[in-house]
Amino acid sequence: MTEQTSSVEDAAATPVEDATPTPVEDGTTTPVEAPAALPPAPEEAPAVAAPEAVPTAVDPEVPSTAVGAEVPPAPVRKDRRVLRALLRWTAATVVFAAVGTSVAYGITRMDRTDVPGLATESDGRWDYPTITRPPLPSGSPRPLAESNRTGTHYADLRRLVLPAPKGAHADAALRGTDGWLATKTFLAEYATRDDRETVGQQLTDNGLRHIAARGWTTPDGTHTRIYLLQFDSVVVADEVNSPGLTSYNMPNYALRGAERTMADDRFPDRAAVDDVVRHAYDEIKPYGAEQVRQAYLSAGDTLALIVQSRKGTAKAVPFQQTVVLQSQLLG
């Protein structure tokens, strides 16, 4: 149904930070200390008493030394040469060991693509800008905090919509008025008139407050639309999500160009964000003019719909990356 994808934990390449990020340790490497300088070789090797000569074999060609005869001292010059050579080799070994250690440490600190011969091609992730949660009003809890029983997003909802990745062209139709989108523009995502009327009535009955949205098209032709719908409480948003708009196997209402859609079973469960309910769906082959991917997210008092479509096939990795990042922003 869809191509096999890499880990979505990796796909979310741009972590979501709070407005005042916590400092982290920098990635600089620790310099390797140079080995301590060795002491200079002594000018004279200390005199060592020669052991008493005890012949172990008799060679007829070499006269033996009588027991008790005086033995001449060993040549000092030769000992000095041996000692100095030994010191030089020891110093060289220490230096090469230190240099080798620093090189190995540097290699382990490099990114894979920084090491010649180990570069890898992109897996399709988009280059999102630094993503930061907007600040909360003083004394206000996070939407999914235990103390926030209504799940209210106290931050401006318009600042909780995921920004477009680098190189994308913004969709002016989703800018709305002052950043708020008309409900009819959101309802235009659904395939039939009857479905648009039914969904619209659900939103009215459940007290929809407003909709924030953003859309863009990347150079490869992928069109992304993100809608955030805010209600009065987490209880209401959950009801609109399920059983209102979603079910386990398929969405309750088809989107334009995706009349035959089923649950995306290749979206890894380990990519879930705590306390954010996700329903991801993928169009069933044969696709129409475009392949359509979609996901509903329920987080506190807010319901999100993310749609990606592309002529031919819509790639799984950027879709999963977008869903995970938007989940983190709402969490």
List, for residues 84-118, the tens digit of each pLDDT value.
Answer: 655 565 555 544 454 444 434 333 333 444 333 33
Domain that holds residue 294: 8-19+121-330
Classify residue 298: in a domain, yes or no: yes
CA distance 218 to 318: 11
Classify residue 217: in a domain, yes or no: yes
List, for residues 116-151, the tens digit of each pLDDT value.
Answer: 333 445 678 999 999 999 999 999 999 999 999 999
CB 186 within 8 A of CB 213: yes
pLDDT value at residue 288: 86
Classify residue 240: in a domain, yes or no: yes
Classify residue 71: in a domain, yes or no: no
pLDDT value at residue 182: 97
Dihedral (Cα; 188, 190, 191, 193), 10-degree rounding:
-70
Classify residue 42: in a domain, yes or no: no
pLDDT value at residue 123: 78
Q: Locate 54 and state its tokens.
A: 């005890």
Return the bridge partners of 302, or none: 230, 299
Classify residue 262: in a domain, yes or no: yes
pLDDT value at residue 77: 52
Beta strands in the chain (DSSP E): 16-17, 131-132, 169-170, 210-217, 223-230, 261-263, 277-283, 290-299, 302-311
- Domain count for the chain, please give it: 1
CA distance 151 to 143: 5
pLDDT value at residue 54: 38
Q: Which residues of the chain have pLDDT under 50?
A: 1-5, 21-71, 74, 76, 78, 94-96, 98-120
Q: Locate 44 and state its tokens.
A: 């004279």
CA-based nearest residue to 325, from 210, 119, 163: 163
Instruction: Return phi, psi of residue 306, to 5°.
Output: -115, 125
Classify residue 193: in a domain, yes or no: yes
CA distance 296 to 196: 17
pLDDT value at residue 91: 56
Classify residue 308: in a domain, yes or no: yes
Count Cβ atoms below 10 Å from residue 96 Cβ, excluding itself.
10
CA-based nearest residue to 296, from 194, 190, 181: 190
